[in-house]
Structure formats: C-alpha cells, structure tokens
Amino acid sequence: MTAMRRWVLGLMVGVASGLGGSTANAEPESVGVEVAAGAGVTVPFGALTSQSTVAGLGYAFAPGVPLSVDAGLHIGRVYFGTAFQYSLLFGCCGANDLQLTAEGRYYLNPEARWAPWVGVGFGIEIANASGYQYEGYSVGARVGVDFRSTPADSLRFGPFASASFGEFTCESDQPGSCGLHAWATIGLRGVWDAVR
C-alpha cells in the first residue's frame, strides 16, 4: 500500500510539474476590447410571406445600405461580442431592417499586417415595410480581412462579406404566413482594438 501511495504521489507531482512548466513556457494570450464600424451594400433574397403578390422578399424590400457597429472582447485569436446593423433600404415606404446579433469570430493570423478572419452569429431581426413590422430570428456567417500598417497599430480596416438567413414570425394582422429569407452583404469596416 505504501509503495502504491508513493507511486500515485510521484505521478501527481510529475503531472503538476509538467503542467507548470508548460504554462510557464507558453506565451500569454493578448486580451482586449475591440470596437468596429462598417458600411456596405446588402441585397435581399427569399420569401417574406406566403401570399403570391408579396412572396419575394425583394418585392417588399429593395437593396440597401447597412450601417453596423460591433463591440466585444478579443482573446488571442478568438473574439466574442455583439453586432448591431441598421439597413436603410431603397424603394418605397421608408423600409428598413435591424439585426442584433451575438457573434463569435476567429482570426487566422491576428498579428499579421493582413489578418483574415471568419465569424458566425445568431440573433433577432426586425424589418419594417409598407406599414407592417416583421420580427424573427437570423443566423449568419461573415468573412473578412483586416489590414494594419504595423503589428503595433490599434487601428485596422478592411473588406468583409456576409450572408444571414432567417424567418419572420407573422402576427394575425399581417398578410400571409412568413417564409425563409436571406441577406447578402459586402462592405468595408474600420476596427479599433485595445489588445495588450
């Protein structure tokens, strides 16, 4: 029994020493706050309602200009945060679309001058057109590249592209039942990060 206890104790000390050595030798991950603002062009696809006269989302919503603000926490290669996007849509009746999204993002090479990234998110969507308001959910993905002049710069900018998919939940006073829809967006964004 004594030999077994010594063996177990020795194993525990060895594992702890190995973990401690690995932690001591590993470089600490950078942590900080990231804020971004962007603008671009967005195009709708899919169905707004089941009624044939307004079945296409493009019938009620025309392409528009999305304005977005992101804010979150950047830990090493990973980002977690929220994104708010307001799209002013062309066409009649002052149509617009709002999306509030929780997003996770991964930077493939965050210290490089050109830093590509990919992100996924989910959230809520509210659209207004022709006197009706449509509410629902959305899920989406974004890809982009951030450019900085030197690795120490806290300001970055670059292009991005995104696709979001969702479904509106119609109320009894709205025409028809709602269908699946999507938005395709391209644009530019500027980023400020206080990563240390």
**How sure is the predictor about 184, in pLDDT bands with cuts at 50, 70 and 90?**
very high
The full length of the chain comes to 196
Q: Are 11 and 138 contacting, i.e. CB atoms less than 8 angstroms apart? A: no
pTM over 0.95: no
Which one has a higher pLDDT value, 26 or 148? Answer: 148
Print the SS3 string covering 21-88: HHHHHCCCCCEEEEEEEEEEEEEEEEECECCHHHCEHHHHCCCEEEEEEEEEEEECCEEEEEEEEEEE
Which residue carries 């997003």 as its tokens?
103
14, pLDDT greater than 60: no
> 43-47, 76-80, 117-121, 126-130 — which one is most confidently predicted on average?
117-121
pLDDT of residue 92: 65
* Residue range 89-99: mean pLDDT, rounded: 82
Q: Which domains does the chain have, with CATH numbers?
A: 32-193 (2.40.160.20)
pLDDT, residue 28, reads: 59
pLDDT of residue 22: 41
Q: Does 23 score more than 60 pLDDT?
A: no
DSSP reduced 3-state for 9? helix
Is it the case that residue 128 has pLDDT exceeding 60?
yes
- Are the C-beta atoms of 46 and 178 separated by less than 8 Å? no
Q: Which residue has the higher pLDDT, 105 or 56?
A: 105
pLDDT at 133: 82
